[in-house]
Structure 1
Amino acid sequence: MKKIILFADTGIDDSIALTYALKNPEVDLIGVVSGYGNIDREKAYRNVEYLLELADRTDIPVIAGATRPLSGEEPVFFPEIHGIEGLGPINPPIPEERYANRTNFSKLFHLIKNNGNEVTIVNVGRCTSLAIAHYLSPEVMEDVKETYLMGGAFMEPGNATEVAEANFFGDPIAANYVCQNVANLTIVPLDVTRDALLTPQVVNLIDTRSDSPLEEIIKPILDFYYEYYQQQNPGILGTPQHDLAALMAALDIDGLYEYKKREVKVEYKGKFTDGESIADFRPGASNCFGPKCTRIALKINQNVFVSNVLEILTNHR
């Protein structure tokens, strides 16, 4: 069983990743860090608390993350993708104002120290909170066993700009810092997450087997998500589960991904290329070694992905 701390900006795909983590017997979710991204930090925090209440898992600590990128600029949110509250048509009955003015990174550091060398971090939102944690206490963060990022687009176009994926574009300074400085790093980029699709048929099957309040919101929020993606990409077969794909990478599921190792940089000074993820995949380039070497997922087995998601989201844990 893996001890995981999830860093999220709790919109729709984050919520599916969180639901999967709560239902997977191989995951010991020991904490969630909620920061700005798809929505503001207070809503993201509120959404985590709401989902944990639905799952009857309020024992899991929630940590308030960053409110804006390291540049200090005001973040841009995406209600057309995730809904005003971040959960599509769902309006959690908890006021977001309850979570204003919270800072508790010390709780994060205690979690890591109390589980020394056993913690896996999975970051599925902006990289800001993770970078701040490394800035504040590099000694403690050295005790993290491994880190997984959902971010970047290497041989695919971006989704925030022509070249940049949204998480890296949202704070390219933090993304570059993490990619250049965090050891034992794996990146799960758009190159694979675009193909991590759940079709309406699969979603309906999950819904027919739902037996808890947490599972009952899967279909309405993914139906909302699918409507957006149909507008953006007519003919798409389902909704890409970007964040779930990154979480699943941390579980070493046999046959799910193929990887290459490269040094990764993220552009943060470009006039047109902010957030672009850069690695050398030219002919003749080979796997790297050393502290700046990052493992990058570049191929996904869709059958393995779907069958595993079905198995976990339809179990009765």
Structure 2
Amino acid sequence: MKKIILFADTGIDDAIALIYALTHPEIDLTAVVAGYGNTDRDRSARNAAYLLKLAGRTDIPVIAGSTLPLSGETPVFFPEIHGEEGLGPISPPMSQEPFQRRTNFTKLFQLIKQHPDELTIVTVGRCTSLAIAWYLSPEVMKLVKETYIMGGAFLEPGNVTEVAEANFYGDPQAADFVCQNAPGLTIIPLNVTRDALLTPALVDFIDTRADTPLQQVIKPILDFYYEAYQQLEPGIEGTPQHDLAAVIAALEIPGMFSYVSKQVKVEDEDGYAEGLSIADFRPGVEECTGTGCARVAASMDIGAFTANVLDILTRD
């Protein structure tokens, strides 16, 4: 059983990752840390709480994370991609008020201390909350077993600028800090996750098996997401499940991903290259070891990914 704390900015792809984690029989979802990103922090936390309620798992705590990047700049949200409330056409019938003015990492640190060397952190949003946790209590964070991040783009264009992927671009200072300081780090970048597509036909199939309130939100939010992606990338065959790929990576399914070990830096200065993820892929460069060295996913078995997703998301 894999104990996971999910750091999310709960928009549509985060929601699918969360639904997968809640459904998978080998994942013990220990907590959700919800921060800004696809939507604001309070909506992000509310959306996570709503999905947990649909799953009958209100025992899982939702921890209110960061509201701003480390730079203090006002974040930009994406209602045209994730909807006004962050879940496409769905307006969760829950208030955001319980999460307002509630940034507090005490519960996170308590959980980590209760399960030393057992917890896996999977970060599928901005790296801000994770970086803050390291700034506040590095000794506690060293008790985390391993960390997976969805972020960056290597040897491929970004998705918010010509060179930058959204999670790293949204807080490059936090991303750079985590990449250079978090031990046991695995990065699942855009150049791998953009091929993790769920086509409308696959979504329709999942919907034919949807017999729980949690499963029944999958089709409406992914249909909304697909229409948004048709504007972003006309003709794309489905919706990229960036965040879901990172959760699946944490399960270490044999053969699902291939990796290289690289020192990763993130450009955090204002300018053309802001948010650029940097690693040395030149031939003959030796792989690195130790702190500041990350496993970077280089490829994914798309057939195995699709089969696994269909298996989990159509379970009774």
Please give the secondary structure, in 2, of the residue aligned with 1:225.
helix
Q: Which amino acid aligns with 1:130?
A: L
Counterpart for residue 171 of structure 1: 171
Q: Deviations over 1:92-131 (max 9, x none)?
A: 0112233211122000000000011000000000000000
Q: Deviations over 1:263-292 (max 9, x none)?
A: 000000141111000000012123111211
Q: Which amino acid aligns with 2:165?
A: E
Q: Deviations over 1:64-92 (max 9, x none)?
A: 00000000001000000100000000000
RMSD: 0.7
Task: Please tell me whether the aligned partners of residues 3 and 30 of structure 2 are also in contact (alpha carbons under 8 angstroms).
Answer: yes
Q: Deviations over 1:3-34 (max 9, x none)?
A: 00000000000000000000001100000000
Counterpart for residue 188 of structure 2: 188
Supply the distance in 1 between the matched residues of 2:291 and 2:239 (Cα, whole angstroms). 35
Q: Is 1:111 matched up with 2:104?
A: no
Counterpart for residue 215 of structure 1: 215
Percent of aligned pairs with the same residue?
67
- TM-score, normalisation: structure 2: 0.99
Instruction: Could you tell me which runs of 5 or more consecutive residues in structure 1 were left unpaired when the two chains were aligned.
Output: none
Supply the distance in 1 between the matched residues of 2:74 and 2:139 (Cα, whole angstroms). 30
Supply the distance in 2 between the matched residues of 1:261 and 1:98 (Cα, whole angstroms). 41
Supply the distance in 1 between the matched residues of 2:254 and 2:230 (Cα, whole angstroms). 31
Superposition misfits of 4+ residues, deviation over 6 angstroms: none
Please give the secondary structure, in 1, of the residue aligned with 2:214.
helix
Please give the secondary structure, in 1, of the residue aligned with 2:71.
coil
Counterpart for residue 230 of structure 1: 230
Please give the secondary structure, in 2, of the residue aligned with 1:160.
coil
Supply the distance in 2 between the matched residues of 1:277 and 1:22 (Cα, whole angstroms). 31
Q: Deviations over 1:134-158 (max 9, x none)?
A: 0000000000000000000011100
Counterpart for residue 203 of structure 1: 203
Q: Is 1:13 matched up with 2:39?
A: no
Measure how far apart 1:222 and its partner are: 0.2
Residue correspondence of structure 1 range 47-126 to structure 2 within 5 A: 47-126=47-126
Supply the distance in 2 between the matched residues of 1:68 and 1:138 (Cα, whole angstroms). 21
Supply the distance in 2 between the matched residues of 1:188 and 1:243 (Cα, whole angstroms). 9
Task: Identify which range, 182-191 or 89-98, moves more after superposition.
Answer: 89-98
Residue correspondence of structure 1 range 221-300 to structure 2 within 5 A: 221-300=221-300
Q: Which amino acid aligns with 1:42?
A: D
Supply the distance in 2 between the matched residues of 1:71 and 1:232 (Cα, whole angstroms). 28
Task: Please tell me whether the aligned partners of residues 183 and 290 of structure 2 are also in contact (alpha carbons under 8 angstroms).
Answer: no
- TM-score, normalisation: structure 1: 0.99
Please give the secondary structure, in 2, of the residue aligned with 1:213.
coil
Residue correspondence of structure 1 range 30-49 to structure 2 within 5 A: 30-49=30-49
Counterpart for residue 137 of structure 1: 137
Supply the distance in 1 between the matched residues of 2:14 and 2:7 (Cα, whole angstroms). 9
